[in-house]
Amino acid sequence: MIDQGIKSRPTYEALRRDPTGRRHLYLCAGEGPAPDALSDGPLESWTVAPAAAEGTLRRPQGEGERRFRSSRQLLDTLGRRLAGERMGLRLYAEGPEDFLWDVFGIAQDHGLGRSEVFLKQSGTLARRVQCVHCKTFNEGVTTTIVRCAGCGANLFVRDHFSRRLSAFQGVKIDAEQPGDVPQAERAYP
Amino acid sequence: MILDRLIPARVAGIDSLGPTLKRFRFEPESGRFPTAAPGAHILVTLRGPERVWKNAYSLVTPPDQRDGYAIIVRRVRDSRGGSHFLHDHLRPGDRVEIGPPASLFPIASLARRHILIGGGIGLTPFLSYVPVLRARGAAFELHQYCTDEETGIFRELLAEAGAGVTVHGETSRRSFTEVLTDQPLGTHVYTCGPAGMMEAVEAAARDLGWPEAAIHKESFGGAEGGRPFRVTLARSGRTLDVPETQSLLEALETAGIEAPCLCRGGACGVCLTGVVDGEIEHRDHVLTEEERAGGRLMATCVSRARSDVLVLDL
Amino acid sequence: MGIEFRRDERFRESFSYRNSDAGVLRFPFPFGEDRYMYSVNIEPHTRGGPSPAFAHAFDVDEHYVAECRERALVLADDPGRCQVLPHMMPAQWDTLELLMESLSADYPEHFSLTKDGDAWRWINRPLGLDQSFVFGRPETLPCPPFEYITRQAQGDFTLQDQRDDNLFVDGGMVTTQADWSLDFDIGMSFHEWHGPVPLAHDIGVFDRALRFLLRLQYGQPVRRLNWTMTINPRLDTSPENYPDWGPDRTTVTPENVADKVHLRVELQTLFRLPRSNAILFGIRCYLLSVRDIERVEKWRKRLHRVLTTLPPELAEYKGLTRYRDTLIAHLAAGDDGAALSPGIQPDQTALAARS
């Protein structure tokens, strides 16, 4: 990955159990399982069944374990769950970056602060990119330059990241000299 | 608003609330006072016949009340901080000077519910919180802990605070843990009172898994004495002694040295002063661990010397 | 008395913006030394100092009416330039109070504020407004309080919420910005929204600035100057509209450099607000053409020296790379290398006629 020297891009550390919490909920955009460093005590674990296994997996048996059909379904359930939660909860999320910050946004909407939510990127490094000119979100971007699905501009994917939008910023690369577009490189597999 | 000088004011009235509690009301000599934050404190300069006190007190008036400020002061036995001067000598009409209201104890903007826990006279900042929380339609509870003798006084002070207010005397009071249990996500707790009580509130909240960011303590007023030491001022070459009952800041002021300060409780950082030599006993809430270890900066209002002599860059 | 407003100026299309001679001399020139590097150059925002632009809490000048109209044009196109997160309503009222009280006290011939309890009446004579409203009741104003009052002020404003020992940019009115997007950055922490700035992170500028600002006291605002350059006197150099103004950077020639290139200075002020404990960050933008800068001997020579020694990362970040050499070549002839007085003041009280 090319480091553009921009400090707003989050860095992620391995998930560890926060001993100051009283209840712990692990959310994974994939199959899990939760890392050992989380499992040192009671832990709820919410995972998502891989699309390839549709209809073939049995419900999880362990206490506090739930498996969802999609990360969308997991996120919707999370909102309802947090609405009734009490102080003392710690959230841990693992998955692609857009999933992580979607979790964070839901958590924040329900009163959790930055010190009560822990995130770890895993799986694809593909980026959600917002076109700063037309505001369209371009999902799953793996290249340094992407053509905006909204306005057609060739966007340079800046390392500037908004946690609120869960997206990187895309800026027209040839704004000063239209047509002067370098070759896109695959950078975020 | 640029407030670059003290605000001249007069004592508009003094109300006796109990054997050791008085409310002092001030009005500006001209114009209006600045809008004060909920939980704000002011530095009041009191000129007695023999010495000058500069003391920080929480405002008990709401932010939008600008024709008058009020504070409530308990007369402390063995007072060296000026509470006896306020109680025994200050009269309506007397002049005082008031510094711009400062806030080191703000209401958390993202909190979804607020638990206010006062101990004794530590109720004062919450008296300015309550009308603000009410006007914002915020969810809150106020728990005031005090001696049995003073429950009546505090109930009266809180008479207009409405529902959600409980005054706990010494008997049959609810524990902090009971108060803090089962609170919804996004609840913040604020506490002001004796140090031991605030630590107990903090410990109860931590024990229930509350994050540090949701626990707020009013931190000024912590200046206590300690071992006496000597100070040398590197630039002027002067030397002064700081006795055990005085803070370094007070000693500087007594010697007529212009020393910047604001909160007088080690929270704001305005009084941070360079240290050329000597070992510091840090008691402030401002410096980072790195700066403490560096030993080149100290808060004169609360911190003291571990060595016999300190050399200051003054 | 009072300010004579240049009402017909435009910051787009015809670019009819000009500074009067007095306007040139009151420009807050940002370079006190011959070299420039980032620093925590924050000082108390007390009235007075080396530029008349520091004389009041919020500076109003001859471009006031035209800048307010330009802001209205930008907002009509893109209402997202003014956004405030919901928890910042107390900060909105704080801002309105601060601006109305400051403007009416500092410029009584142009603004007036009268109060009867919560019933306030605000008169803005240059813009022809007379508004009665109830303080604390947003429905009594034509738009939310922060937007209402910042539509009537020069320069951008952001609101920083303080929590978790950090500052979060949780609101703003941003129509005259040096290439940053409020819509994208809103909600970011201090280091996140300064993320794209090069070099300064590594020398600890933002760590120190944040620690300082967390302790900013009510009634004791601070200020600093920042700068960049803009082609044509264009206020709205937003990333949103980069495709519109980006091509301007390729139009600079030795013939037009003095008229096209403008030094863009931000007088940044920071005020602690009372009810909200938020910080109001004012980013007041001043534009001065190189042709006008050259009329001040000290500024002409110093600008040449600063540009010559500017680190390439900074030149790139500020977008100067395409025309920097042309500009330096133009300024070189006017710099004899003589020593200059420290500080930003112009050292002269009258100007030569425009060349």
Structure tokens at C328: 């330096």
Among candidates B294, B300, B292, B311, which has minimal Cα distance to B273?
B300
Whether B202 and B133 share a structural domain? yes
Residue/partner pairs of A178-184 with CB below 8 Å, 24 or more apart: A178/C247, A181/A145, A181/A154, A182/A145, A183/A145, A184/A143, A184/A144, A184/A145, A184/A146
Whether B87 and B143 share a structural domain? no
Residues of B in contact with C275 (CB under 8 A): 35, 37-38, 63, 132
Structure tokens at C146: 């922060």
- Using 50, 70 and 90 to split pLDDT, how confident is the model at B223? very low
Last residue of a domain, one of B98, B124, B150: B98
Structure tokens at A76: 């919707």
Measured distance CA(C217)–CA(C86) in Å, rounded: 24
Whether B155 and B118 share a structural domain? yes
pLDDT for the residue A51: 80
To the nearest whole percent, how much of chain A has pLDDT over 90? Answer: 80
CB contact under 8 A, B132 and C275: yes
Whether B78 and B123 share a structural domain? no
Active-site annotation holder among C18, C224, C300, C322 = C224
Total structural domains in chain B?
A: 3
CB C192, CB A8: distance < 8 Å:
yes
CA C18 to the chain's CA centroid: 17
Eight-state DSSP code of residue C229: E
Residue to test with chain A: of C81, C161, C177, C184, most A Cβ within 10 A: C184
Does some domain include residue B108?
no
CB contact under 8 A, A87 and B180: yes
Whether B117 and B212 share a structural domain? yes
Angle at B7 between CA B6 and CA B8, to 5 degrees: 115
Q: Which residues pair with C126 in a beta bridge?
A: none
Last residue of a domain, one of B37, B69, B98: B98
Residue C149 has pLDDT above 70, yes or no: yes
For residues B211-232, give the mean pLDDT.
80
Does some domain include residue B2?
no
Among candidates A7, A163, A175 on the partner chain, residue whose Cβ is nearest the Cβ of C242:
A175
Whole-number average pLDDT of chain A: 91
CATH of the domain at B258: 3.10.20.30
Residue C198 has pLDDT above 80, yes or no: no
Whether B175 and B252 share a structural domain? no
Range of B166's domain?
113-217
- Using 50, 70 and 90 to split pLDDT, how confident is the model at B222? very low
Lowest mean pLDDT among C2-6, C101-105, C288-292: C2-6
CB A41, CB A148: distance < 8 Å:
no
Residues of C in contact with A165 (CB under 8 A): 184
Measured distance CA(C72)–CA(A96) in Å, rounded: 40
**pLDDT (tens digit per residue) in B70-112:** 999 999 876 666 788 899 889 999 999 998 898 889 999 999 9
pLDDT for the residue B48: 80
- Minimal Cα distance from A87: which residue of B? B185
Q: Is the ipTM of this complex over 0.85?
A: yes
For residue C276, give the amino acid letter.
S
C165 at A interface, C-beta within 8 A: no
Angle at B167 between CA B164 and CA B169, to 5 degrees: 155
Residues of A in contact with C194 (CB under 8 A): 7
Whether B183 and B132 share a structural domain? yes
pLDDT for the residue B78: 67
Structure tokens at C167: 């500052």
Whole-number average pLDDT of chain C: 94
Domain boundaries, chain A: 23-121, 124-189
B34 at C interface, C-beta within 8 A: yes
Lowest mean pLDDT among A91-100, B53-62, B216-225, C258-267: B216-225
CB C197, CB C37: distance < 8 Å:
no
Name C149's Cβ contacts closer than 8 Å, sequence gap at least 6.
C95, C96, C99, C100
Does some domain include residue B104?
no
* Region of residue B56 (left: phi > 0; alpha: psi -120 to 50; beta: else): beta
Domain boundaries, chain C: 21-332
DSSP line for C154-165? SSEEEEEEEETT
**pLDDT (tens digit per residue) in B4-50:** 788 999 999 999 999 999 999 999 999 999 999 999 999 898 888 87
Q: How far is A70 from chain B (nearest CA, A)?
A: 26
Whether B125 and B158 share a structural domain? yes
Does some domain include residue B135?
yes
Does some domain include residue B1?
no
**pLDDT (tens digit per residue) in B166-218:** 999 998 799 999 999 999 999 999 999 998 999 999 999 999 999 999 999 98
CATH of the domain at B172: 3.40.50.80
Among candidates B49, B56, B36, which has minimal Cα distance to B131?
B36
Residues of C in contact with A112 (CB under 8 A): none
Task: Look up the pTM and report it.
Answer: 0.91
Residue B224 has pLDDT above 60, yes or no: no
Measured distance CA(B271)–CA(C267) in Å, rounded: 27
C81 is catalytic: no
Measured distance CA(C74)–CA(C81) in Å, rounded: 8
Residue to test with chain B: of A25, A87, A118, most B Cβ within 10 A: A87
Whether B86 and B155 share a structural domain? no
To the nearest whole percent, how much of chain B has pLDDT over 90? Answer: 67
